[in-house]
Every structure is written in C-alpha cells, then in structure tokens.
A and B are shown apart, each in its own frame.
Chain A
Amino acid sequence: MAAPGEYFSVGSQVSCRTCQEQRLQGEVVAFDYPSKMLALKCPSSSGKPNHADILLINLQYVSEVNIINDRTETPPPLASLNVSKLANKARTEKEEKLSQAYAISAGVSLEGQQLFQTIHKTIKECKWQEKNIVVMEEVVIAPPYQVENCKGKEGSALSHVRKIVEKHFRDVESQKVMQRSQVQPTQKESALSS
C-alpha cells in the first residue's frame, strides 16, 4: 500500500492471473503503486506452519485481479528487522549454494550430493575436496560414499560420521522404496545421468 494505498488493503485476499495464465492467490502484505508491485503472502511451499511464501507480482503482467475479500482492519505494525542477521543469512545461503555448485560441477554423484547435504545438516564443518567430502578436517569420505569409505583417525569423530552416513543411506533406501512405490523411478537415473 504505497502512496495510493487504496488499491489494495493490507490483509485482503487477492487472486490474480498472470499473462502466462498462472493463477496466484494470497494475502496482500504490501503494494507499491509506482512499480505496480504487489506482494502477497501465501502458505509455505514446504508446509511449515511458521513459514510462508511471498509472491512479488508485477501487475503489469497480470491480466486479472480479483479481490476475494477485503479486510478493513488495520494491519499489524511492522516489526523491526535485524538487517545484519538477514545479510548474514543471505551470505551463508549464497556460499552454500556455490559450494554445492562446485561439488556438482566436479562430478559428484547424486548420492554424494545427498550425503553431503545430510552431513551438512548435522556438522557444518564439512566441505568438498574434489569428490571427497571432508568432515571436520578429520574424516574423509570418498566415493561411493559408503560407510566403509569413511576414513580417518579412529575416534569419536569417525564413529560419529559413520553413524551419520549409515543412517543416511538407510533413510535413502527407505525413501527410494517409497518413491518407487509411488511411481518416481527415474529420479536416481536422471540424477546419475546428470
């Protein structure tokens, strides 16, 4: 609700159709008249209740806008944001993506990528070294990234990583079964091919 905040009232439910015939619906959180940008909030694509998706729509490419219901209530005040925290998040996100990209570009298999993701969830200190995953500078996991491929100094670190790897593949296995049963057989192949 920019200057002419009259166009859309915050909190109202809006449905619009883009020029690409895409249906979009959500709750208006902001609108910028000069740029014709409309921000909608809709349920998170991940399904997490405390998360939400934000759609930033350029109304210049929208053929139809329908206000499903209007809300007259005054929108809640905007909470102050920790910008530095957001900036850090943006940086780390970017680094992770790039890191992954490096690994992928190095020809790491899909299993390897998945394993890396899994380990990374638990242990941040892990990176790609060529095609090897190096965890905490102590444990190196070489393709094909099985439990027996975990090498390093015997100790709690190694055993810990092995447990993670072991569990990862167990989960993947169960996931595959489910996926196959659900008709998604090609994922692995495609992944391999890629």
Chain B
Amino acid sequence: AAAVAAAASRKANPSPASPNGNLSPGAAGGPRATMVAPPGSGGGAPPGGSGTRGQSTGKGPPQSPAFEGVYNNSRMLHFLTAVVGSTCDVKVKSGSTFEGIFKTLSSKFELAVDAVHRKVPDQPVGPRREDIVDTMVFKPADVMLVHFRNVDFNYATKDKFTDSAIAMNSKVNGEHKEKILQRWEGGDSNSDDYDLESDMSNGWDPNEMFKFNEENYGVKTTYDSSLSSYTVPLEKDNTEAFRQREARAAQLAREIESSPQYRLRIAMENDDGRTEEEKHSSVQRQVSGRDSPSLASREGKYIPLPQRVREGSRGGIRCSSSRGGRPGMGSLPPRGSSHHSESNTGSVPEQRGINGGPSRMSPKSQRPNRGAKSMSSPTSRPMEVSTASPTVGRLYAPRSPKSASAVPVSSQDPPVGPAIPIAPASPSESRPTMESSASPTPPSPKVPASVPVAAVEVKEVPSSATKEASRTVEVMGPSDLVKQTSKGLQNEQKRNQLEELRKFGAQFKLQPSSSPEATHDPFRPKESLEGKVKDKLPEVLVGTGGSCEVPEEPPKPSLEFCEGSSKEEKGSSEGMERQTQTASPLGKGEAEDKEDGPVSEQVKKSTLNPNAKEFNPSKTLLSVNKSTSTPTSPGPRTHSTPSIPVITPGQSGMYSTQYISYIPQIHMSPAVQTPQMYPYPVSNSVPGQQGKYRAKGSLPPQRSDQHQPTSAPPIMQAAAAAAGPPLVAATPYSSYISYNPQQFTGQPTMMQPMAHYPSQPVFAPMLQSNPRMMTSGSHPQAIVSSSTPQYPPAEQPTPQTLYATVHQSYPHHATQLHPHQPQPATTPTGNQQQTQHAAPSPVQHQAGQPPHLASAQQQQNLYHTATLTATPPSITPGPSAQSPQSGFPQQAVYAIHAHQQLQHGYTNMAHVTQAHVQTGIAAAPPPHPGAPQVMLLHPSQTHGGPPQGGVPQSGVPTLSASTPSPYTYIGHHQVQSHPSQQLPFHTPGN
C-alpha cells in the first residue's frame, strides 16, 4: 500500500516529466528516470509466496540481494526475465511511448530499458543516434502499459540435456563448480562386446557405502539389518494357537496369491510362469487352465516356489476364466477340499458354491473344511504351511489314503502333460487345492515312505514337500519337454516323487516310500483303512485298488477323460460331490482321503477326459481287465471306496501337474494317512502314473458314467475325440510337467517316464481335448449333471457307491494286478506319461489305494498305487488308478463304468491294439520295467491305453475282452480323435 501511495504521489511528477524529458538518458530530474540501481528501501514488501526466483535472479539479485517486492513473485519475475532482450514499447501515463530493449527490473518493479527512443507516430525511419537514450528506468507508477513484442519463450529455456548444460547446472550441494567430465572407460563403444547386462550391480552396495563413509568421513553406520529399532522380531511359538495363526497367515497369503488380480500382477512382472502356449494358444489356456495352472508353470519355465503355488491357483483361475465351466472347475478343486470337509459335513452344494470363487473360494472352502477337519480344510491352502499341509494333507490324504498312488497320481498326472488338460477339469475344482496339493503332491511322492509313517506330522512337511515337488515337477516338466515327453515326464515325476518322498522321509519319520514294494501292502492297508472306515469300502477299495490299478485304470482313464473333462467343467462339482461322498463314507481319515482323492480324481478326470479318449484304446486292454474287475466289485463297494480312489485319482490326475501340489496337500490334509499315502504313491512311480492314468481314467469314468447313464458316451467320446486333438497340442507342456513330477514320484519308472514322455505330450493333448470334450461335449455336462446329481444326493452314498464300485473294481484289479503293480508302477508312469492315462490310473489307484492305505500306511498307499499301477500292468496301473477314480464316478453307474471301460477298451483296443498290444505285451511281461513304460505310454495315448496297460498287466487279452465293450465306446470316440496323436506318442514311447 505504501508503495502504491508513493507511486501515486510520484505520478504527478512523472507524467509531466515524461513528455519533456525525452531522450536524455539521465533524466535524473524526472522521477521516472532513476538509476537502475534499486533504492535501498524495498518497495512494497508483500510477502511473496515463492521466493524462488533463482535463475531469473541473475540480473536482479545484484541489485537487491534479498528477495523483495516483485522478486518475491516468481511467476512475474519469470515472465519479465523471459522478455529480457525483447523490444518493448513503454507507454507512460502521459501517453508517450518509448521503445527500447528491455534489460531488467528492480524489486520495486522499476523497469530498466536500454536504447530507448521516443516513438513518434509518423516516423518510418529508425531513430537517430541522438534520439536514443542508452538506458532509461521507468518507475512502475509512471508506466501504464509495457508491450513486449514477439517474445519467444523457448529462446531462453534452458537446455538441460546437453553436456554443457549439465556441466553448467552442476551446482551440486551448493557448490558451483564446473563439472569435470570423465572419460568413458567402458571400452570401445562400437564393439558389441560390452554387455550392459553384465554388471548386475545397481549402484553402490550399501555395505560399500558404509565402508566408504567410515573410511573417508569417519561416519559409522548404525544400520541394523534386523531393523530392531523399528520392528519387533517375531517370537516363534510352539503353541497350537501360534501355529494356527501361522497357518491362518499362510492361508491368507495363499488366498491373496491365488487371487486372479494378484496373479495378473505377478504375471505382468514375471510371465515366466506362462508358457508360450498359454500366452498364445487359447486352446491350451483352456486346457492348462484347468489342469495346468501348475502345469503351465511347470511346463517349461522355471517358476519360483511361491509362484508355482500361485500358478497352481492361477491355473485354476485360468481354467475357470478360460472355460466357461472352468470357473466352476476352479471352484471345484476347492470344492474337492471343501467336499472333503463338506462330505464330512455333508454339504456338497456349498462346496460347489465355493467353487464359484475358484482360487479364493477353494481356499476358503478348504479352510472351512479345516475347521471341520483340521486336516481336510487345510489341505487346499495348507499346502504351503501348516494350513497348507493340512489341506494338502486332506487332499493328499484322500488321494494318498485312497491311493497313496493318488498323491503320486496327482504328481504323475501333472507330469502326464495331459494332466494339464486333466488339471483343467480338476483344476477348476481343485485348482486352489491343486496349487496347494500340487506342491504337496510332489512332497508326497518323496515323502511317501515317510508319509505313511507320520501322515499328520508330514502334513506340514508334505505341503512343503509338495511345494518342492511341484517345483521340481515344474522343473522336471521342462526337462521332460526337452526329452521325450513321456520319459522326461516320468523321470520328472519320478524325481519329484523321489524328492517329495525324500522330503517326506526327512520330515516324516516314515520310511521312504517303498511304493513298489509296498504296492501290495498299500492295497491291503488301503483296504484295511477302507475297511476301517467302511468295511465294504475297504474291501471294495482294496479290491478296487487292485482292480482299479489294472483294469479300471484303462477304462477309467477313458471314462475319466471324457467324464473327467466334463466333470471338471461341470463335473467338478460332481467330483467334489464324489469326493465328499467318498470321504464321508470312508470315515474321517479315509473320508478326507477319499475326498481328496475325489478331488484329485476330478481334477484328473478333467484332464483325463481329453486324454481319456485317446487312452481308451490303451485302456481297452486294461479296461477289459477292469471291466471284469470293476463290474464285480464296483457296484457294491463303489460308493465309499471308489469315490475316494476316484477322487484322488481323478484329482491327482487332473491336478497332477498343476495340482500335484494340491493333491499332496490333500493327502496331507488327510493328515497322517493321506499324506503318507500320497507320498508313497508319489514315491512309487506307479502312483504318479496312476495319478495320470487316473486323471485320464477319471475323466473316462466320468464319461462312462455319463455315457452309461446318459448313453451319451459315444457322443461324448466323439466330442472328446474331436476336442481331444486340438487340446493335445495345448496341454502337452503342462501335462508333461505334471507328468514329470508324477513320474518322478514314480521313480521306479524313471526310465519309463522317459519313454512315456513322448506319449505325455499326447496326453497333454488328450487332456486338452478332454477339457474341450468336457466343455464342448455334452459329456461334461451330462457327466457333470449326472455325476453331480448323483454325488450330491448320495454324496456319500452315490459317490461312495460309485467310488466304491470303482475301488472295488480297482481293488480287484489292483489286488490281482498288484503283484504286477510294481512293474505296473513303472508302466503306469509310462502310461501316465504317455497319455495321462497312466497317470489317471495311478491316481485312481492311488485314490483307491489311499483309502486303504489311509488306514494302512503310506507305503501301503504307495504300494497300492504302485501295485495298482503294477497290477493294471504298467498301463493298467495308470488305468486302474484312473479307472478307479473314473470308476468311482462311474461306479455310481457301476455297470456303466464297467461298460464304458469295456467299450473304451474295445475301441482303444481296436485302435491301440497294435501299439498297445505291443506295448501291452512288452509291458505285461516285464510289466514294470521298460515295457510298462511303453505300455503306459500307449495306454495313456489312447484312453484305452490305461485299459490296455491294464490288459497287458492283467493279461491284455482277457482285459481287453472283458473291458472292450465298455471302453470301446470311449475308446472309439477317443481313439478316433486321438488316435493319431496317441499313435505318435506311442511310437515315441515305444
């Protein structure tokens, strides 16, 4: 205000002066012409908000060191600085206009203008020298308007990016030194040798900085890596509450990590978890979606453990997303877990509802289960930690108990590659679980030996083991890919299983899975377990275990595949139901196991379905055997035992690659029994294979169930067959990966796996096809509908019945075959590798066995699986496992299953016959060793494969004969579509 007043007072003077005092630079007299030097007294002192005039200050500062007046107005200062050097017309209040070159301004807004001359309206010619005043200072009060013309605001904009600009700007830390440029010593810039990536260091290492500061400035860091100043270290407590909380935390973490959003974000950061196929092949995605979240990850690229787990969940999610039905499927896995709990509880529907939210839902569902059953509920999520272990335990347990093989199966299934397809189906259901189970499964394989010993203890371990296993599986998967899919897968599976087994063994007190040896025992144990749970069931299971392994596997695979896929999509719920049913029937431990088993079976089924068709041919042989066996026992026992076996097998199969971890978890959840079971299965190559087989088998069973009931089998198969081929391409990787793990678990069949690997690719396709089948084919729906209805209503009853039947059949086969099983185990693995059939069968076997085993020991389970696989003959084992699983579902349809299997067998037989027969023959004689592998491959390739395998094992001719009719349907359909693929695989395998 004061300034304004002053200005006002001056106005009078200036105006008069301006007219007069024209050119004289001094113009001292006039108020307007004052020296540029700003008066000492600051003009107005309105506090300017921003005192940063910085750069512009250049000229201003000299005049007034302190920011005063207009210098506080950074914006005004900026623009008036930008116009420095511009021509300006200064119109004073008198009306005169002076033109000059703007030079600067004072804090009081006095404008300094150079070379000023008074503008005369009519003067085209430039000013004369004598008309120009060197410098004039206009007081703000005298200035009415200043017109700066043609200002280029970009002219003086500092360039900040040239060396000179940077050097000029190097006013670092108040120092205004010119930056000394240093010579670049990075070598010849033109040479390509220099690798920008070679130097991984990103700036200084903190320790380097600390050291430097200490040496150069004597500053010693107080940094404490424990951040004790900011946080309180977590005191680990051994109390139950603490563990629960830990489990809870782990669960939450898993939930979060399994959420689609999380996966998406993670995927953006690291898409290594996704295969090219996943990225670019919608088909694969679908397939992998279900089966293979894990599979995909496993397939080729290295995936961190955590990510693997996530992947598993992702896979589930993907599955759901990719396939309309998948979401359901994804949910299904959870359901499986939930089913277990629910089955116990008897709330199948809920589980389904849970399924709706695939990953998350499943975890939750699982949790609930846990609540109900500590083991079961944890299974899905527990996988990682305690909770995971519990869940896993359950899942696995079901699998393991039902079929120690189940665990293996699951692992195997994944390896199968088809597993992916399978996984898709099951994944949807069990994905959540799958993830967890997947990780668990691997462990289970390793653990097997130990698992049996301390299933409960193992739980946690299993989860870890499973995780590791899953990891291994994944790793293996890639290798498998490189190698022949079949062998590689098998090897991987075996390795995984071995690793898992080892882990389990280490963690568990249980002996390393002596799956092969125990195979027989497992069956018995399973039987005993089942028997404990349900006398019938046990028996059935036992019987089924055997039968399943051998005969059933083949049929089941096909069925599983067909049905499995359908189930996965639609049938996931069914699977859940089955699982639940089975679980309930079996009793808690077994029930859990069974549930897990069912889940796994479902999973497997889903994956299997695609494969199922292909497998059918191979299965045909097995199927024949199975048909005979299954028909007999399945009906009676089916529900309880079958369900378990089925589930486990199917799930394992389905999950196998993806779910493998899940399965383990499931098994784990079953707690001691299941975990053990799983491990054993895993350890036993056969189990793994069985798992694959089961997966396949599971699908077929489903299909068979559906088919049989619906009479849609043919159609389904056809659809599957149609879908199958395309899927095959997509799934292979995942399936392979999965297979590998399983195979590894299968250990014994390492060699076989290799051979099988080739076939595995086929399996993968199969699996894929299965998914498609499921989706496209009415089978899935029909299956689902049929299966689900059955399961839900009779959750325990029907499923049980179904399962029981399956189990029974399996047991029969298994029992019969068991002797062979050891070999079968290998063969199963091979089968699995080949097509998932093997895996499915293993799974089934495992599942079937697990129940028995559950009661029995892990080893037993393993044995069972192994035996199952073995019994089925190499192929059969897988088939049997699958068949059991499938059989379980089918068992509901008992007759149907058998029929289906038979049909498949026929078809498969027909198609596969040549290859299968050969393989079968080879497998049959040496069963387990090399031949089995081949056998497995063949079986797996053609859905009949498992059956075939079974046939070889049990006696190809007989089996084929018996099963043929049932399988034929499946087999035919599958075979038709898959034949080529199967054949290729077979050939590789061979």
What is the interface of chain A, defined by CB distance below 8 A to chain B?
Answer: 1-5, 10, 18-20, 22, 24, 29-37, 39, 41, 44-46, 48, 50-58, 60-61, 75, 78-94, 97-98, 100-102, 104-105, 110, 113, 187, 190-191, 194
Contacts and interface: CB of A to CB of B under 8 A. Distances in A.
A75 B73 CA distance: 14
A83 B81 contact: yes
Contacts of A46: 149-150
Interface string B114-142: 11010000111111111110000000110
Given A30-B75, A35-B3, 17 more contacts: A2-B49, A37-B140, A44-B151, A56-B148, A58-B141, A60-B7, A61-B144, A83-B55, A83-B57, A86-B82, A87-B59, A87-B84, A90-B102, A92-B85, A93-B85, A94-B114, A110-B125
A173 B610 CA distance: 91
Contacts of B122: 190
What's the interface size class on B, roughly? 35 or more
Contacts of A90: 84-85, 101-103, 114
A50 to B, nearest CB: 6
B70 A55 contact: no
A97 B114 CA distance: 10
26 contacts: A2-B49, A3-B47, A3-B49, A30-B80, A32-B73, A32-B109, A33-B46, A51-B150, A54-B147, A60-B4, A81-B156, A81-B158, A82-B158, A84-B58, A87-B84, A92-B85, A93-B87, A93-B101, A97-B127, A97-B132, A98-B129, A101-B126, A104-B126, A187-B124, A190-B124, A194-B124
B151 A54 contact: yes
B16 to A, nearest CB: 16
A35 B124 contact: no
A35 B44 CA distance: 8
A56 B143 contact: yes
A186 to B, nearest CB: 9
Nearest to B84: A86
Contacts of B159: 82
B78 A37 contact: no
Contacts of B160: 80
A41 B80 CA distance: 12
A96 to B, nearest CB: 9
Contacts of B127: 97, 101, 104
Nearest to A101: B129
B75 A10 contact: yes
Contacts of A56: 80, 143, 145-148
Contact of B54 (A53, A80, A194): A80
A18 B92 CA distance: 11
B155 interface: yes
Q: Which 10 A-B pairs have the closest CB atoms?
A: A34-B44, A83-B58, A89-B85, A90-B85, A56-B146, A30-B76, A101-B129, A105-B128, A194-B125, A54-B148
B29 interface: no
Given A31-B76, A81-B55, A194-B124, A105 B129 contact: yes
Given A81-B158, A87-B85, A90-B103, A29 B147 contact: no
Contacts of A94: 101, 103, 114-115
B157 A19 contact: no
A56 B88 CA distance: 10
B3 A78 contact: no
A123 to B, nearest CB: 19
B147 A55 contact: yes
Interface in B228-264: none
Contacts of B108: 35
Interface in B144-201: 144-160
A3 B73 CA distance: 7
A3 B56 CA distance: 19
A149 B151 CA distance: 37
Given A2-B72, A51-B151, A55-B147, A191 B131 contact: no
Given A30-B75, A52-B151, A86 B85 contact: yes
Contacts of B81: 81, 83, 86
Interface string B666-702: 0000000000000000000000000000000000000
Contact of A24 (B46, B143, B145, B148): B145
B886 to A, nearest CB: 67
Contacts of B44: 34-35
Contacts of A22: 145
B111 to A, nearest CB: 8
Contact of A2 (B46, B54, B86, B125): B46
A166 B48 CA distance: 57
Contacts of A48: 150
Contacts of B145: 18, 22, 24, 55-58, 61
B69 interface: yes
Q: Which among A32, A50, A88, A191 has the highest number of chain B CB atoms within 10 Å?
A: A32
A54 B4 CA distance: 23
Interface string B40-80: 00011111110000111111000000000110111110111
